Structures are given as C-alpha cells and as structure tokens.
Amino acid sequence: MNTSNIPEILTHVDAGVMTITLNRLARKNSITAAMYDALADALDSANHDAAVRAVVIQGHETIFSAGNDIGDFLNKPPATSDAPVFRFLRGLSSFPKPIVASVCGPAVGIGTTMLLHCDLVYAGDNAAFSMPFVNLGLCPEAASSFLAVQLMGYPRAAEALLLGEPFMAETALDMGLINRIVPPAEANALAQRQALKLAAKPITSLMETKRLMKKGNAGMVAERMAEEGASFGRMLQEPAAREAFTAFMEKRKPDFSAL
C-alpha cells in the first residue's frame, strides 16, 4: 500500500523495510516541491514507526533522478530554510535508522548529493553521477561541499563540483560513494536484500552504531547545509543563474562571458 499522498512518490512497508520509490519516469524522476514534501513526510513517518527498521530509496533501472524539476523549481524557489527541499535534506541527514539506496542511470544534482547521507548505496553499471551546480550559476547543497571533499579527497571533489561533469559507476566505486556495482535489473533487488538483513538485526544496535559513526560530522553537516542553503537562495536570484535557467528553458548553451 502506498502511504504517500502523491503518486510520484511511492512508499511501501514490508518486513521492517520502508521502500521509497521515485515514480515520475515520464519526467526522468525530476523532483518537485510537492515530491520533496512527500519524501520528507515519508522519512518522518519511518523515523517514528517502530515497525520500520530500515529504509530503501530507489528509482527506475533506467534513471534514478534528473534532479530538480527546473520549471517547478523556478516557480517555487526554495526561499526559506523551511522550503520542502531543505526539510527533506535535514530529515535525510539526521535520519537515525539505516538508509539503503539503489541507483541506476543518471543521478543529477540532488540525485547524487542525497547519496552522501545514505549508509549503503548500490548502483547499476549504467549509473552516471553529476553535481552540476556551478554550471547553473549555483553552489553545492546537502552539505556536499563538505562531505564530497571528505569522501573523495579535495582533487576529485574539485573536479566533480567545479567542472560539474558526470562520472560513472566505476569511478563512484573507486571514490567510495557506492558499495557495489551490479546489472541495472538487479540493483533494486540487491538493495532490498541488504535492507532485509539490516531489519533482522537489533534496531538499538543499528541506530547507536550509525550515531557513533556520524557523530563527528553531525554538527558540521548541519552548519554547512545551512550555509549552502543561504548561498544557494541568494545565487538563485543573481544573473548567472538567471542566464543558466533561461538557456535551459530555451534549449541553448548558456553564455556566462559577460557575467
């Protein structure tokens, strides 16, 4: 049974695992404000439901997420810290139970940065990760300016965040962003099997172990996420972002030469 109130986000609980599925395939699983609200609500529900011991976040075997829905994003920009996208990111970063992600196909922007907050990530061999914020006249979000450097090392994080170019599953595995690569048709099933293993373990031990592992970063993640959010909101109103988004809507290459 889907407990989400919108069809683009499907949630299902079985055997201690809540599965959250991005279900907007016709729009490449691009995420709207309403979808961010549904994602945040799902995580809140999973957090407070004793029957849920692990969460799986998945897309389709051809695409994980194209990132923000640009049209929706421009109509409803995240103007405050209570914006749906920031509510989702705070809920994800502080979620106390294990989160497993299954990623196939493109994972753009927040499609990649949300993975930095997941505990186990399994990818199809068709996965392509990218964080193209600079190319949109913006800055990183989800504390990725901190977590990507910590995970990948500065040179690789700089390449990923300053150039914003896609990198494939083998590179992501080498960086430590993902745990394993499998054929796309097998990724969601693998994530489910791993989540069921977690759900069979004592929840108090899982939660305490996760808390201890993340304790050193928790304050910095929250602080960086807030700083990035403030910068992101400001930059969204500036000429570079306006040119990037206008070019996107007009299907042309942006021209930043005068900016």
Residue 163's nearest CA partner among 127, 135, 128 is 135
pLDDT computed for residue 75 by the predictor? 87
In this predicted model, what pLDDT tens digit does every residue of 146-205 receive, in sequence order? 999 999 999 999 999 999 999 999 999 999 999 999 999 999 999 999 999 999 999 999
Q: Under a CB-based contact definition with an 8 Å cutoff, are residues 196 and 15 in contact?
A: yes
Q: Give strand pairing partners of 54.
A: 17
Residue 2 predicted with pLDDT over 80: no
Residue 7 predicted with pLDDT over 70: yes
Mean pLDDT of the chain: 96
Return the residue matching tokens 């600079």: 134
pTM for the model stands at 0.96
Residue 176's nearest CA partner among 118, 137, 131 is 118
Q: What is the separation, in whole angstroms, between the first and last Cα of the chain?
A: 50
Question: Span 118-126, mean pLDDT?
Answer: 98
In this predicted model, what pLDDT tens digit does every residue of 74-114 receive, in sequence order? 888 887 888 999 999 999 999 999 999 999 999 999 999 99
Pairwise CA distance, residues 249 & 69, whole Å: 11
Pairwise CA distance, residues 154 & 149, whole Å: 5
State how far the alpha carbon of 142 is from the alpha carbons of 7, 28, 79, 103, 107, in Å: 25, 21, 16, 18, 14
Pairwise CA distance, residues 169 & 186, whole Å: 15
Q: Give strand pairing partners of 20.
A: 11, 57
Residue 73 predicted with pLDDT over 90: no
Residue 136 predicted with pLDDT over 90: yes
Residue 5 predicted with pLDDT over 90: no
Pairwise CA distance, residues 93 & 171, whole Å: 24
pLDDT computed for residue 138 by the predictor? 96
pLDDT computed for residue 26 by the predictor? 97
Q: Under a CB-based contact definition with an 8 Å cutoff, are residues 181 and 170 in contact?
A: yes
Sign for the CA dihedral angle at 161, 166, 171, 172 comes to positive
State how far the alpha carbon of 2 is from the alpha carbons of 9, 23, 37, 179, in Å: 9, 12, 15, 28
pLDDT computed for residue 90 by the predictor? 96
Question: Span 47-73, mean pLDDT?
Answer: 96
Q: Under a CB-based contact definition with an 8 Å cutoff, are residues 53 and 17 in contact?
A: yes
Pairwise CA distance, residues 154 & 160, whole Å: 10
Residue 1 predicted with pLDDT over 70: no
- pLDDT-derived band at 54 (thresholds 50, 70, 90) equals very high
Residue 4 predicted with pLDDT over 90: no
pLDDT computed for residue 12 by the predictor? 97
Residue 130 predicted with pLDDT over 70: yes
